[in-house]
A and B are shown apart, each in its own frame.
Chain A
Amino acid sequence: DTGVSQDPRHKITKRGQNVTFRCDPISEHNRLYWYRQTLGQGPEFLTYFQNEAQLEKSRLLSDRFSAERPKGSFSTLEIQRTEQGDSAMYLCASSPPGTTLGEQFFGPGTRLTVL
Chain B
Amino acid sequence: QKEVEQNSGPLSVPEGAIASLNCTYSDRVSQSFFWYRQYSGKSPELIMSIYSNGDKEDGRFTAQLNKASQYVSLLIRDSQPSDSATYLCAVIKAGGTSYGKLTFGQGTILTVHP
Pair A109/B43 contact, Cβ less than 8 Å: yes
A55 touches B99 (CB 8 A): yes
Q: Give the size category of A's interface with B.
A: 20 to 34
Give bound CA distance, A61 to B111, whole Å. 34
Cβ contact within 8 Å between B99 and A56 = yes
Q: In chain A, what residue has the closest Cβ to B34?
A: A102
A60 nearest CB across to chain B (Å)? 12
Report B87 CB to chain A, min CB distance, Å: 10
Count of interface residues, chain B, beta-carbon cutoff 8 Å: 25
Query: Contacts A56-B97, A102-B49; is A42 near B107 (CB within 8 Å)?
Result: yes
Partner of A104, one of B100, B103, B105: B100
Are the CB atoms of A101 and B99 closer together than 8 Å? yes
| Pairs A–B under 8 Å by Cβ, sample size 15 | A33-B101, A40-B107, A41-B106, A42-B4, A42-B104, A42-B105, A43-B44, A44-B104, A45-B102, A56-B97, A101-B98, A102-B49, A103-B46, A103-B49, A106-B44
18 additional contacts (CB under 8 A) given A101-B98, A102-B46, A104-B46 = A41-B106, A41-B107, A42-B88, A42-B105, A44-B104, A45-B103, A55-B99, A56-B101, A100-B51, A101-B32, A102-B34, A102-B90, A102-B92, A103-B49, A105-B46, A106-B43, A108-B42, A109-B43
User: Which A residues fall within an 8 A CB radius of B?
Assistant: 31, 33, 35, 40-45, 48, 50, 55-56, 58, 91, 95, 100-109
